Amino acid sequence: PAPPYAYQLYYIKGAEDYNSKKITDFNQVGVKATDDNTLEVTLNNPTPYFLGLTSFYTFYPVHQSVKDNAKWATDPKLMITNGPFTLTTWTTGQKIEVTKNANYWDNQNIKLTKVTMSLSNSSATELSSYKAGQLDYAGEPNGRIPTDQMPAVKNELKDELNLKPIGSIYYYVFNTTAKPFDNVKIRKAFSMAISRQDIVDKVTMSEETPAFGFVPPGISGDKGEYRTEFKDDFFTENMEEAKKLLAEGMQEEGYTTLPPITLIYNSDDKHKKIALAIADMWKKNLGVEVKTENQEWGVFLKNRQNLNYQIARAGWSPDYNDPMTFFDLWTSTSGNNDSGFKNKEYDALIKDAFSTPDTAKRMEDFKKAETMIIKDQQVVLPIYYYTNVSLIKPNLKGVVIDYAGQVDFTRAYFE
């Protein structure tokens, strides 16, 4: 099967047809090297964010010498890179080490000779390692600072703590094909019956913003920012309305009691705290018992992809700065759509936004698409828009955290 992210290359003329074997001659795909230093790409339609896409990892070049060896991406001996660093060590579950790449085009401006990344599922371990001087950087995107220690961290390490709103969303996704969430009223009831403000104030405590849409602030719109141009007011939290919708949904399905429900999340203490808090809200506000279950990342992903779940924790960071990165996710052909939601009208909206050069028209398409997945169908249960939470030692300079929360150590140095 095609990799989940194959669709990101379908902007290129002939790419989708080649991938689905409608054409077999690669010369018909709109990519060719015109000389040793020039790549010419022909697109299906004007794509204003295409240059941004080329810095996303789906577009990274892979050396031909490893095309028949699937292990190239995890074996330092096989990996050939053109970036500032080269992978030298990967000890599963313990550490990743990269060293400066002598062949990088801007090699003289890379000050760090080596970066060692500690791998741990425990945010408490990460924080204690930082305090002990074993880490110079701790936190997002892949690390954590324990939520229950945030008040103390804000007090003790306020000069080293960075809280930056980023264009990423934390949400739960419904399997719209699984009982009882194949009923839209039941999905809406579950979304209405939680208090997002309580979650960010009392559980995560990192100045996140409650989410009532799917696109976070910071993503480009028509003239400025999409979220400023279109407010995220697709629904409100309303416990009485939630109870009413739940009762109606149960009646439609012939339930006297709901079938057993399990919420799955990948193993992480923060995800666990959020899951327990939300399950408690569902119990208090809807009278529904929901079991929470943590799963190892690989198992969790497989279960989501195979629709072997009812409701699952999820998050999305943009691949490029355009709302499309949040909406092509839910099309019928997207390899990352693990909700079971398939809708021809939705697909047509995204196709239109994909092909029109008219920015204002594209944004109207996106507004309609967001209305459909949040207000009309409630495919996802938005929870909050992320902040990047990190601790950086005062002598470590030049670390860049971008609009999406990705951390770039390329030009970092010690003072």
Same domain as 285, residue 400? no
How many structural domains are present in the chain? 2
Contact predicate 384/200, CB 8 Å: yes
Residue 378 to residue 373: CA distance in whole angstroms: 5
**Phi and psi at residue 358, to the nearest 5°:** -80, 105
Task: Give the chain's length.
Answer: 415
Same domain as 207, residue 114? no
Please choose, from the candidates 282, 342, 269, 349, the residue with its C-alpha nearest in 3D space to the C-alpha of residue 307. 342
pTM equals: 0.82
Contact predicate 404/236, CB 8 Å: no
Same domain as 75, residue 169? no
Amino acid (1-letter code) at residue 101: N
Please choose, from the candidates 190, 176, 211, the residue with its C-alpha nearest in 3D space to the C-alpha of residue 377. 176
Same domain as 394, residue 289? no
Domain extent at residue 315: 165-387
Looking at residue 388, the DSSP 8-state letter turns out to be E
Beta bridge partners of 130: none
Query: Can you give the pLDDT at residue 396?
Result: 97
Query: Can you give the pLDDT at residue 1?
Result: 60
Q: Which CATH number is 222's domain given?
A: 3.10.105.10
Reported as type and span, the H/E element at residue 408 is strand 407-408
Q: Using one digit for the tens of pLDDT, what is the confidence trace for 192-240?
A: 999 999 999 999 998 999 999 999 999 999 999 999 999 999 999 999 9
Beta bridge partners of 315: 170
Q: Using one digit for the tens of pLDDT, what is the confidence trace for 288-319?
A: 999 999 999 999 999 999 999 999 999 999 98
Looking at residue 148, the DSSP 8-state letter turns out to be G
In the chain, the percentage of residues whose pLDDT exceeds 90 is 75
Query: Can you give the pLDDT at residue 2?
Result: 67
Contact predicate 234/213, CB 8 Å: yes
Same domain as 229, residue 140? no
Q: Average pLDDT, stretch 117-135?
A: 90
Same domain as 274, residue 127? no
Q: Using one digit for the tens of pLDDT, what is the confidence trace for 8-63?
A: 899 999 999 999 899 999 999 999 999 999 999 999 988 888 988 898 888 998 89
Query: Can you give the pLDDT at residue 6?
Result: 87
Same domain as 32, residue 86? yes
Helix, strand, coil shares, percent, the chain, to 5:
35, 20, 40
Query: Can you give the pLDDT at residue 140?
Result: 80
Same domain as 21, residue 131? yes
Quickly tell me which residue has 């079938």 as its tokens. 259
Please choose, from the candidates 33, 370, 62, 57, the residue with its C-alpha nearest in 3D space to the C-alpha of residue 234. 370
Contact predicate 223/360, CB 8 Å: no
Same domain as 266, residue 160? no
Instruction: Inform me whether the pLDDT recorded for 121 exceeds 90.
Output: no
Instruction: Inform me whether the pLDDT recorded for 143 exceeds 80.
Output: no
256-275 burial: b if 16+ Cβ within 10 Å, else e: eebeebebbbbebbbbebbb
Same domain as 203, residue 86? no
Assign 180 a pLDDT band (cuts: 50, 70, 90).
Answer: very high
Beta bridge partners of 171: 314, 382
In the chain, the percentage of residues whose pLDDT exceeds 70 is 99
Instruction: Inform me whether the pLDDT recorded for 404 exceeds 90.
Output: no
Quickly tell me which residue has 């934390």 as its tokens. 170
Radius of gyration from C-alpha coordinates of the chain: 23
194 SS3 class = coil
Query: Can you give the pLDDT at residue 370?
Result: 98
Same domain as 326, residue 265? yes
Helix pair angle (359-370, 344-355), 10° resolution: 160
Mean pLDDT of the chain: 93
Q: Using one digit for the tens of pLDDT, what is the confidence trace for 329-362?
A: 999 989 899 999 999 999 999 999 988 888 999 9
Q: Which CATH number is 18's domain given?
A: 3.40.190.10
Instruction: Inform me whether the pLDDT recorded for 142 exceeds 80.
Output: no
Looking at residue 415, the DSSP 8-state letter turns out to be -
Within 13 Å of residue 107, how many CA atoms lie on the same side as its CB? 9
Same domain as 335, residue 191? yes
Contact predicate 109/369, CB 8 Å: no
Query: Can you give the pLDDT at residue 147?
Result: 83
**Phi and psi at residue 112, to the nearest 5°:** -80, 135
Which residues contact residue 201 at a Cβ distance below 8 angstroms, ignoring those fewer than 6 apart? none
